[in-house]
Structure 1
Amino acid sequence: MGDKHQIRFEPVGIDIEADEDETILNAAFRQGVMLMHGCKEGQCSACKSFLLEGDLQMDRYSTFALADYESEEGYVLLCRGHAYSDLEIELVNYDEDMIRSGLPVCTAATTVESIEPLTHDISLVRLRLREPGLRFHPGQYVDIRIPGTDEHRSFSMANVSAAGGLLEFIIKRYPGGRFSGLLEGVLSPGDPLELTGPYGTFTLRSASDRRLVFVGGGAGMSPILALLRQMAESGNEREAVYYYGARTERDLFHLEEMARLARQLPGFRFVPCLSQDAPAGWAGEAGLVTEVLERCEPALAECDVYLCGPPPMVDAALPLLENLGVPGDRVFYDKFTTTAAAGQ
């Protein structure tokens, strides 16, 4: 362990302690301060902040996340930064309510409870915690360590809490995937898995009463399902619509649960969108989910928009939302890097 230093985050006035051997972001996680973040690997710019005072040194990072001229001006990546003195840091992207409602990150041992197919390439995975104690907000995610390695993959929980000792994940299987490939005959019920979390800021903002627009595809249903289940359990009456993008009908799943949620939440609609081969008489929408969103939602600027799906979908949706006048602080997503997603 290295020397410890005090870090103050402005303009929120929050103080933490950081060891020289840990990144500032991990130090914040350890103390239950949930700063904005994405890849946690220096590949995105979600944790970019401005160093006001002190000696901060960074591990290697991508210049796509932090350009050289930004670094020269004083911008830093908290996921790569180490404190070598007391620091004062100005947060650039932050949600004060989320920061203050953070839960301490911990490492937990689990065993595989079950692995079930949802579609030809998506699985429902349930893990049982060996000991109670893991807490998370609906919509957050954990890092699951790939057995026998120091690598991990990030997956969002689909359930509201771990009160019953189970964690539920919707995971897309990729050919040769470092983790997802294990779901095809390698991992079995009873096998141990280690995870660390919770992470992420993809949570319902209770202070808002704006209409909710959820946009997703593939295994991105996992955290959105958690939020919808949370709304159903709490009796949340906010108007909500969920646009779910799939290629064909065989890529759709959890349709019965979506119907049940629509009965429980009178203001909720589920809109499946098929980008290929929409059959005759198809009751949903046809086209890419971003195209459907633009066609069907003329008043998005007045809504809270939650995005979760393949990185290309999220990357296509963000400029679209900006062009449609949606303020950046009303768009919520956890930015996973393409490498992390494709290599699952």
Structure 2
Amino acid sequence: MTHTLTIKAISPDARNVFSYDLEKPDSFSFQPGQATEVSIDKDGWRDQKRPFTFTSLPGWDRLQFTIKSYHDHDGVTDQLSKLLVGDQLIIDDPWGAITYKGKGVFIAGGAGVTPFIAIFRQLHDEGNLAGHTLLFANKTERDIIHREEFEALPGLTVRHILSQEERSGLDHGHIDGDYLRDHVSDFDQHFYVCGPDQMVEEINATLSDLGAKPDSLVFEK
């Protein structure tokens, strides 16, 4: 079932990243971490569907998506950055395999962190965030999505890894086997992985080599 929804607010986040708050249909439900197909309610764009993750919680009175825009071509995310409050988006039913399974380590690359936003918010509201870790890889400091919120969440351990610059207090390099051995002491827990396809494939293979069980790896297949 599709829903045509009006944008109620647009908030800047990181570089080329915005959060879009939409009106919420009655009885619409989803699980934190799930996504849906989204298109723009304008001529020429209604059939251009792209998957985006809900960053709001199911109990909120609005739906929210946090989306990174890419301006290197005239695509959906570039068009989204040009929208205004009052414009409309079309969304489908929720779907997705990244849902909370238990305490563990969350590993994200860039906009791949978005499925984890609602999960962390839910765990925080429930008082169950302590003992979780976020390893968040980005190119530069300006690319870090929701940085202030993540770092302010009590009980969540956050490590930022930058590949293209060095900054005081942040790690430099990539999330590879050496990095995981240095910063993860227990591989007998859940690992949530989201980011570019190659990154997810490589990290899952590395985690398996380090002793993580296949059914403990949570990612979008």
Please say whether Structure 1 and Structure 2 have the same fold, judged by a TM-score greater than 0.5: yes
Letter in 2 for 1:125: Y
Letter in 1 for 2:19: L
Q: Compared with structure 1, are the counterparts of its residues 132 and 201 closer, same or farther at alpha carbon in structure 2 (3 Å cutoff)?
A: same
Q: Which residue of 2 aligns with 1:293?
A: 180
Q: Which residue of 1 aligns with 2:50?
A: 153
**Does 2:138 align with 1:246?**
yes
Q: Compared with structure 1, are the counterparts of its residues 316 and 116 closer, same or farther at alpha carbon in structure 2 (3 Å cutoff)?
A: same
Higher relative contact order (CA 8 A, sep 6+): 2
Displacement after TM superposition at 1:298 (Å):
4.2
Q: Tell me the distance in 2 between the aligned counterparts of 1:139 and 1:283.
A: 29
Q: Which residue of 2 aligns with 1:113?
A: 8
Q: Compared with structure 1, are the counterparts of its residues 177 and 245 closer, same or farther at alpha carbon in structure 2 (3 Å cutoff)?
A: farther
Q: Tell me the distance in 1 between the aligned counterparts of 2:39 and 2:81.
A: 17
Gap runs ≥5 in structure 1: 1-105, 336-344
Q: Which residue of 2 aligns with 1:275?
A: 163
Q: Compared with structure 1, are the counterparts of its residues 163 and 249 closer, same or farther at alpha carbon in structure 2 (3 Å cutoff)?
A: closer
Letter in 2 for 1:169: F
TM-score (norm 1): 0.59
Once the two structures are superposed, residues 300-337 of structure 1 have per-residue CA deviations (whole angstroms, 9 ceiling, x without a partner) of 2x1100011222321221211121121111011124xx
Letter in 2 for 1:276: Q
Query: Contact 1:114/1:127 (CA < 8 Å) preserved in 2?
Result: yes
Q: C-alpha root-mean-square deviation of aligned residues, in Å?
A: 1.9
Displacement after TM superposition at 1:112 (Å):
1.4
Q: Tell me the distance in 2 between the aligned counterparts of 1:241 and 1:124.
A: 23
The equivalences for 1:1-344 within 5 A come to 106-129=1-24, 131-147=25-41, 148=43, 149-164=46-61, 166-174=62-70, 175-185=72-82, 187-205=83-101, 208=102, 211-236=103-128, 239-261=131-153, 263=154, 265=155, 268-279=156-167, 282-290=168-176, 292-300=179-187, 302-335=188-221
Query: Contact 2:189/2:216 (CA < 8 Å) preserved in 1?
Result: yes
Secondary structure, aligned partner of 1:289:
coil
Gap runs ≥5 in structure 2: none
Q: Compared with structure 1, are the counterparts of its residues 330 and 288 closer, same or farther at alpha carbon in structure 2 (3 Å cutoff)?
A: same
Q: Which residue of 2 aligns with 1:12?
A: none
Query: Contact 2:135/2:158 (CA < 8 Å) preserved in 1?
Result: yes
Larger gyration radius, structure 1 or structure 2: 1
State how many pairs are aligned.
216
Letter in 1 for 2:159: V
Once the two structures are superposed, residues 81-119 of structure 1 have per-residue CA deviations (whole angstroms, 9 ceiling, x without a partner) of xxxxxxxxxxxxxxxxxxxxxxxxx42221112333322
Q: Tell me the distance in 2 between the aligned counterparts of 1:184 and 1:199.
A: 24
Q: Compared with structure 1, are the counterparts of its residues 202 and 177 closer, same or farther at alpha carbon in structure 2 (3 Å cutoff)?
A: farther
Identical counterparts, % of pairs: 29
